[in-house]
Amino acid sequence: MEHNPQPIRQAVFMIPPKVHLLDITGPAHIFYEASGYGAPVELTFSAIGRQTQAVSSCSLAFHRLVPYADLVLEPGDLVFIPGLDAGLLLSDQFLAETRAFQYWLKKQHGQGVIICSVCTGAFLLAAAGLLDHRNCTTHWKFAERFKILYPKAKLQTSRLFVMEDRLYTSAGVASGIDLALYLVEQLWGAHLAARIAKEVVIYFRRAIDDPQLSVFLQYRNHLDDRIHQVQDLLSQSLDQRFSIEALAEKVNMSPRNLTRSFKKTTQLTIGAYLDKLRAERARQLIAGGHTLQAAALHCGLKSVSRLKQLLGAALQQ
């Protein structure tokens, strides 16, 4: 009996003018690693016009790009649309100049091609009409502007990435890596995705239901260096227990002053902040295959019942 190999898929990474580099290089590198591990995929870098070169938002130039009109795609191939300079996306002239590309994109989707966007790349999908009456997401910073420009799209404002009808939209910048790993898992299995995550040193893989803003990033929008030091210490040492006195000593503050300053700066008590950190880390560990008991130990909790309390409280917030 002959073995029928999987068909080779094309993963096409569009390079618009003023592209944001990590939006394109992050997902591309995941598929590069997949190819290195034997996945049947070929990478192509393409321009959204007739030109064969483009300059990124930080002035790095791309050359030898394939004009999009020269591509020959099959059902199941993938096209990635990265984020780009917001000034272009809000320019009527740019949108008019890329109208032919938008028509092409919509046609490819209709023929079975998988279309993916990273960050503000969702604006181009929406301009093409691909997101009308469909669930989607984009970078949180541009969510309100997106809603105004494309009211027919069903924007999900706190999602890492969203999929519907072979359309995948992801949030800001690094979420494109999470989306690429998810696609690798869907196409070629969880084992390969895990090997690639390990290869590129991604400690925690974020999933489709994860929020855009992790608690590890929230409550950090302040300028108090000593509070930042305490937050760093807590987030990096969840398996340890610190008294208020010990934390205060590390940042040369009195326990009372630290307690008051932390609450004033973050709007949370130190205990409430630590609970949020532990709940999110535990959820990540459980999603990665750890048992409840192992997750509790990693997070410095004495019992599984305490972990369940934290997770239940986090769901209600």
Residue 294 neighbours by CB distance under 10 Å: 14
Question: Same domain, yes or no, for 27 and 66?
Answer: yes
Question: Same domain, yes or no, for 159 and 229?
Answer: no
pLDDT in tens, 21-69: 999 999 999 999 999 999 999 999 999 999 999 999 999 999 999 999 9
Number of domains, the chain: 2
Range from 210-224, 228-242, 276-290 carrying the lowest mean pLDDT: 210-224
User: Which residues touch 277 (CB under 8 Å, ≥6 apart)?
Assistant: 215, 216, 234, 235, 238
Residue 198: pLDDT band (50, 70, 90) is confident
pLDDT in tens, 153-169: 999 987 888 999 999 99
Residue 121 neighbours by CB distance under 10 Å: 28
What pLDDT score was predicted for residue 209?
Answer: 57
Rounded Cα gap, residues 27 and 118, in angstroms: 9
Residue found under tokens 């023929």:
111
Q: Quick one: how far is CA 137 from the chain centroid?
A: 10
Rounded Cα gap, residues 212 and 217, in angstroms: 10
Question: Same domain, yes or no, for 99 and 243?
Answer: no
Q: Sort 180 into a burial class: Cβ within 10 Å, 0-12 / 13-18 / 19+.
A: buried
Question: Same domain, yes or no, for 190 and 233?
Answer: no
Question: Same domain, yes or no, for 40 and 156?
Answer: yes
The per-residue DSSP string of 88-119 comes to HHT-HHHHHHTHHHHHHHHHHHHTT-EEEE-G
- Tell me the average pLDDT across 172-181: 86
The answer to whether residue 214 is domain-embedded is: no
What pLDDT score was predicted for residue 205?
Answer: 54
Question: Same domain, yes or no, for 243 and 157?
Answer: no
pLDDT in tens, 223-234: 788 988 898 889
- CATH number of the domain where residue 186 is located: 3.40.50.880
For 25, the token pair is: 């290089």
Longest Cα–Cα distance of the chain, Å, equals 76
What pLDDT score was predicted for residue 252?
Answer: 94
Which amino acid, 27? P
Asked if the model's pLDDT at residue 113 lies above 50, the reply is yes
- CATH number of the domain where residue 310 is located: 1.10.10.60
Question: Same domain, yes or no, for 117 and 265?
Answer: no
Rounded Cα gap, residues 306 and 29, in angstroms: 40
Question: Same domain, yes or no, for 34 and 157?
Answer: yes
For 66, the token pair is: 């394939």
The answer to whether residue 3 is domain-embedded is: no
Question: Same domain, yes or no, for 41 and 122?
Answer: yes
Nearest in space to 139 (alpha carbons), one of 206, 85, 217, 83: 83
Identify the domain boundary among 199, 233, 255. Answer: 199
The answer to whether residue 254 is domain-embedded is: yes
The answer to whether residue 1 is domain-embedded is: no
The answer to whether residue 205 is domain-embedded is: no
Residue 189: pLDDT band (50, 70, 90) is confident
The model's pTM is 0.71
- What is the 3 state secondary structure string of 22-42? HHHHHHHHHHHHHHHCCCCEE
Range from 81-85, 90-94, 210-214, 217-221 carrying the lowest mean pLDDT: 210-214
pLDDT in tens, 236-249: 888 888 999 999 99
What pLDDT score was predicted for residue 206?
Answer: 57
Identify the domain boundary among 182, 199, 216. Answer: 199
Residue found under tokens 């404002």:
157
Domain extent at residue 297: 225-316
The answer to whether residue 281 is domain-embedded is: yes
Which amino acid, 230? V
Residue found under tokens 């009109």:
69
Q: Nearest 5°: CA angle at 28, between 170 and 144? A: 20
Rounded Cα gap, residues 1 and 170, in angstroms: 42
Asked if the model's pLDDT at residue 285 lies above 90, the reply is no
Q: Please, are residues 139 and 119 in contact by the beta-carbon 8 Å criterion?
A: yes
For 154, the token pair is: 């069903």
